[in-house]
Structure 1
Amino acid sequence: MRDFFSGVGFFFQGIGWVAKHGRWWLFGLIPAVIAFVVYVVALIFLGQYAFEIADFLTPFADSWSWRDTFRTIMGVIIFIGGLALAVITYAALTLAIGEPFYERLSGEADPLPDHEEKPWWRTLPRSIRDSLVTLLYVLAFTIPLFVLGFIPVIGQTVVPVIGAMVSGFFLSVELTTLALERRDLPRKARMALLRKNLPLTLGFGVPIFLLFLVPLVAVIAMPAAVAGAALMVRGRLAPR
């Protein structure tokens, strides 16, 4: 439990770091705002067509007397699922858009004197590939949890908790990528390291995931999350 709260503490350390380095916080807001606009447009589109998608996916309910109620519930679930997926992938898209921004921010929070910086255009393809692999992992967990969400009681209690833990873990995976890549750790090694330090990883990622559910907070908190991840890697995961 202590490691879990240590993970929470590293996020607050990230907040403290950007508070002391205001220009880096403003620097990190640029890609966060761009990604936010992309997701707002996508979610508005999903909100407009969620019920039509529900109709398309449930032709078997045409003869049901309560089909309208069922499809309304399905439309709401589809939108909520889209919102959850947006929260999970927000960090990945923001990091991809802001690779040169966050590479510098992370390097300032976690300086490695002997590290040779690589041009961002060389690391970007690998970052996108790793993010896509992480997304596949997320979907592998999210789809079963989405189905389990229809089970009474369990779907409204246990499943959201598990979902937050899964989302928090993969959010930590994305946020620690920059600092761990500077230490030449490939994706599989990074995942293994975070699994080995699971309470710490969840303590860092779960609160950030919950904060990212609030749209504007996600934008404001993104630079602090990147800085906090760099500090966590430096202090606990791969001290150097």
Structure 2
Amino acid sequence: MNPVREVFGGFGVLLRGLGIVLRRPRLFLLGALPALVTSLLFLAALITLAVNVTGLVAWATPFAEDWESAWRGLVRGALSLALLAGAVLVMVVAFTTVTLALGSPIYDKIAELVEEELGGAPQAPDEALLASVTRSARQSVGVVLVSLTVTVSAFLLGLVPVVGWMVAPVLTAVAGGWLLGIELTASAFDRRGLLRVRDRRHLMGARRWRVLGFAVPTYFLLAIPFVAVAVFPAATAGGTILARELLPEDPQGHQDPQNPPSPHQTPPGTPRGR
């Protein structure tokens, strides 16, 4: 498959998702609500931390009380900045996961409407609520931890002159977009009984350029404060469309979630031009 065509096709998936939710303004506004709530909660938490950071750092460093004021101020100032920077980093990385968790019923409804519009959606598997919540929480924590590891690694790599400056942003965008794709396709894959993250990775690997064409621009848009509020409903709809495109089809054109393609094979029934 042509990588350039696949990348543009992936971006087109995001635009298709936007078109679907814009045709339902009330659903679009409802889908934007969880992202707005998350943004306001994170902003309030950051302001609270900034107001109290001096006291927190002083409480955590009692050993510095007897130091000279210049050294004490320098160390505590550096720790305060590090604490605030770390908090911002965690918030950026966890934003998507927290928003999806808060708005789970809403985003499931958006995914369901996309499935109905496109047709051919199976019934959701019969999974106990507690088992579903536990599985989703475990997977979300895993994604956040991986995201933090990648982000910190990219930051450290960015300290390397020249090479690090070029490689770190690319690594952050690709890895962050890929992890975002794993989260945004979850609802459609879960509906088809593909409940494990490895199932999603396997199918995404077969069309990695298309996935990145969708996920990387979405990742950058969701990283812009409050722009994410408007992008989230479209990203959810786009993730559902993308998942359907990643699923293989039998010769009659029916999706077969029990027979996912090899990451090195084109899914059966996929036109060669895609």
TM-score by length of 2: 0.72
Contact 2:10/2:211 (<8 A) preserved: yes
Aligned residue number for residue 173 of structure 1:
182
**Structure 1 residues 236 and 187: CA distance shift in structure 2, 3 A:** closer
More helix by share: 1
Q: Which amino acid aligns with 2:189?
A: L
The answer to which structure, 1 or 2, has the higher relative contact order (CA under 8 A, 6+ apart) is 1
The answer to whether residue 164 in structure 2 is matched with residue 184 in structure 1 is no
Query: What is the deviation of 1:94?
Result: 1.1
**Structure 1 residues 215 and 121: CA distance shift in structure 2, 3 A:** farther
Aligned residue number for residue 42 of structure 2:
39
Query: What is the deviation of 1:164?
Result: 1.2
Query: What is the deviation of 1:118?
Result: 5.4
How is 1:5-154 mapped onto 2 (pairs within 5 angstroms)? 5-45=8-48, 49=53, 82-111=87-116, 112-116=120-124, 121-122=129-130, 123-154=132-163
Cα deviation 1:130-161 (Å, max 9, x = unaligned): 11111222233222222212222233332112
**Structure 1 residues 200 and 113: CA distance shift in structure 2, 3 A:** closer
Cα deviation 1:186-238 (Å, max 9, x = unaligned): 22111222233221121111111111221111111101100011111123445
TM-score by length of 1: 0.81
Contact 2:125/2:192 (<8 A) preserved: no
Q: Which amino acid aligns with 1:35?
A: T
Aligned residue number for residue 70 of structure 2:
none
Aligned residue number for residue 263 of structure 2:
none
Aligned residue number for residue 264 of structure 2:
none
Aligned residue number for residue 206 of structure 2:
196
Q: Which amino acid aligns with 1:13?
A: R
**Structure 1 residues 179 and 206: CA distance shift in structure 2, 3 A:** same
Higher Cα Rg, which structure: 2
Q: Which amino acid aligns with 1:32?
A: A
Contact 1:81/1:146 (<8 A) preserved: no
Please provide the CA RMSD for this pair. Answer: 3.2
Q: Which amino acid aligns with 1:233?
A: A
How many aligned positions are there?
234
Q: Which amino acid aligns with 1:213?
A: A
List runs of 5+ in structure 1 lacking aligned partners.
63-67
Contact 1:4/1:200 (<8 A) preserved: yes
Contact 1:173/1:191 (<8 A) preserved: yes
Aligned residue number for residue 65 of structure 1:
none
Aligned residue number for residue 217 of structure 1:
227
**Structure 1 residues 74 and 46: CA distance shift in structure 2, 3 A:** same
Query: What is the deviation of 1:87?
Result: 3.1
Q: Which amino acid aligns with 1:101?
A: I
Q: Which amino acid aligns with 1:182?
A: R
- Sequence identity (%): 31
Q: Which amino acid aligns with 1:206?
A: V
